[in-house]
Amino acid sequence: MELAVYQIDGDQSSKKITLDDTIFGIEPNDHAIYLDVKQFLANKRQGTHKAKQRAEVSYSTKKIVRQKGSGGARHGSIKSPIFVGGGRTFGPVPRDYGFKLNKKVKQLARRSALSYKAKNDAIIVLENLNFEAPKTKEFIKISQNLKVADKKILMVLPESNNNIYLSSRNLPKVKVVTVSELSTYDIINASSLIMLEGSVEVLHNMFGIS
């Protein structure tokens, strides 16, 4: 797949860039995307929920009523879950929600997500840029020139650039990541994928394509 490289003023340059079909042109695997997104969201969960069980409630351990002769049911402790203030039955305890996912499945998920974006013409290749200082207005102007200012934007950089990151940090619909940080969730969650010219080569190398 061949795409034009855009300039920051929104015009096409004379350059073209080729996106490898083994990354951007495969038949998407929806189940792989589902598994990768599920793992991503599971890893973000804190898992610090906790409720006290009957062994942890601070109450007397004295037997409430005698075993026989009361005319009611037998009760051994006020900590029982059937009483108000008693421990909770099978309550939540701290846990890790993460799970293992094979590396090849994660790669397939990212390729599938990128292929979906390519099929929907939602990928823009932008010439390499660098801000001398953080300028949010400049970032907004570029997105307006590319006609994606009203969309969820994911900008992919070949390497970390603090000025670009700081320029976009206050924009709620914009996320800036490097190629190494690129996740299936971020790709699917974005409406428009802006890739700097240099990030395409880095992405190809990451997937072992020379």
**Same structural domain, 60 and 35:** no
Say yes or no to pLDDT of 210 above 70.
no
**Count of Cβ atoms closer than 10 Å to residue 157 Cβ:** 24
**Same structural domain, 80 and 169:** no
d(CA 54, CA 89): 8
Both ends of the chain: CA-CA distance in Å? 16
**Same structural domain, 75 and 157:** no
**Predicted confidence (pLDDT) per residue in 70-93, tens digit:** 898 999 899 999 999 899 999 999
**Predicted confidence (pLDDT) per residue in 193-209, tens digit:** 999 988 988 998 888 77
What range defines the domain where residue 175 resides? 2-45+101-206
Q: What angle do CA 198, 11, 25 make, to 5 degrees?
A: 50
**Same structural domain, 134 and 40:** yes
**Same structural domain, 33 and 89:** no
Question: What is the CATH classification number for the domain harbouring 162?
Answer: 3.40.1370.10
**Same structural domain, 37 and 52:** no
- Confidence class for position 67, pLDDT limits 50, 70, 90: very high
**pTM exceeds 0.85 for this model:** no
- Confidence class for position 128, pLDDT limits 50, 70, 90: confident
Instruction: Give residue 68's pLDDT.
Output: 92
d(CA 74, CA 83): 13
**Predicted confidence (pLDDT) per residue in 138-155, tens digit:** 999 999 999 988 899 999
- Confidence class for position 132, pLDDT limits 50, 70, 90: confident
**Same structural domain, 92 and 106:** no
**What is the domain count for the chain?**
2
**Same structural domain, 117 and 173:** yes
Instruction: Give residue 149's pLDDT.
Output: 87
